[in-house]
Amino acid sequence: MRVLFELASKRSRRLAKFICIKDIILWKKIKDLFAAKADSVEVNIDKSSEVESAPPTQAQLGVEESGPNLSELIRLHLAQVLRADGFTGSGRSFRKNHVDWLFVLTLETSRAGNAFALHIGIQPKFAPDTLGKPVDPKKLKVQLCEFRRRISSTSTDQWWEFEATEESMTIALQAAAKIYAEYMRPLIQAICAESSIFERISIEEFSVRNMGFEGFASDAGRLALATARYLAFKGQVEKARAFAELGLRHVGISVGLQGHFEELLQNLTHTKIEELNSVSSS
């Protein structure tokens, strides 16, 4: 019996030793496997870091690798024409900050990149922008101006096509500058004159065409509202009221525009009452 017990004990020790050796080998394999995966992760992180830290290419920065510099050509052939009318700015964005009006002009390129248009916005500074917010002369964009259009010799948009050569771009810019000078400059001068077109126009003569706003994203109702607001701003209460009442006949189904006219008429009524009270008390 004792002999059997010793044999069993020896077998148990050998089995335990075998299991222990097996566990050590398995643990080593697992450890090596994790180490290999960690090295792989570190390599991938290093590679991604190299990609992230790599400097951006010229294409990513929008830098032209070759070819003419459009911004420089704009400065030479368009900016000078705009500055003669009081515009400031550079690159593709210019603005004219008049005492009563703000003019914003941008050079807008087509999706294909082979044509451009001159997009202009005209905003009365005495009225909110199209979102109903006060006008910020330094930040206002064309899209938020009361009157806006792409400059043209007709009532439709005009785009000037060009090729990727200095000669082609120069010809297109000079042609655009000529159209601006012939068709947009007279309107800007009429608006900014000491006696503005918004002050000179009569009820009988009033129309989008006679005001020079054909092609703009506006109609007779909004133009009448701008005229009434201008006249109210200048203290011409009776004429402002007449244009507000005229505008109400052009609002159509525009509830928002109707509200603007009604609010203006209410303010004009209060102004008139205050004037009458002031005269009677004196």
Note the pTM of the prediction, 2 decimals.
0.73
CA nearest to 126, candidates 118, 137, 142, 110: 137
Tell me the pLDDT of the chain (282 aa) as tens digits: 444 445 445 555 554 454 444 554 544 554 554 444 444 434 343 433 333 334 433 333 333 445 788 889 999 999 999 999 999 999 999 999 999 999 999 999 999 999 999 999 999 999 999 999 999 999 999 999 999 999 999 999 999 999 999 999 999 999 999 999 999 999 999 999 999 999 999 999 999 999 999 999 888 999 999 999 999 999 999 999 999 999 998 877 677 889 999 999 999 987 755 554 454 444
Q: What local confidence, expressed as pLDDT, does residue 32 receive?
A: 59
Say what the pLDDT of residue 251 is: 79
List the one residue out of 117, 123, 115, 161 whose CA is nearest residue 141: 123
What pLDDT does 59 receive? 37
Q: What is the pLDDT of residue 255?
A: 78
Largest CA-CA distance found in the chain, in angstroms, rounded: 138
170 burial (CB, 10 Å; 0-12 / 13-18 / 19+) is middle
What was the pLDDT predicted at 52? Answer: 36
Cα–Cα distance for residue pair 52/209, rounded to 1 Å: 57
Residue 28: predicted pLDDT: 57
Q: If you search the block for the tokens 């069993």, which residue do you land on?
A: 8
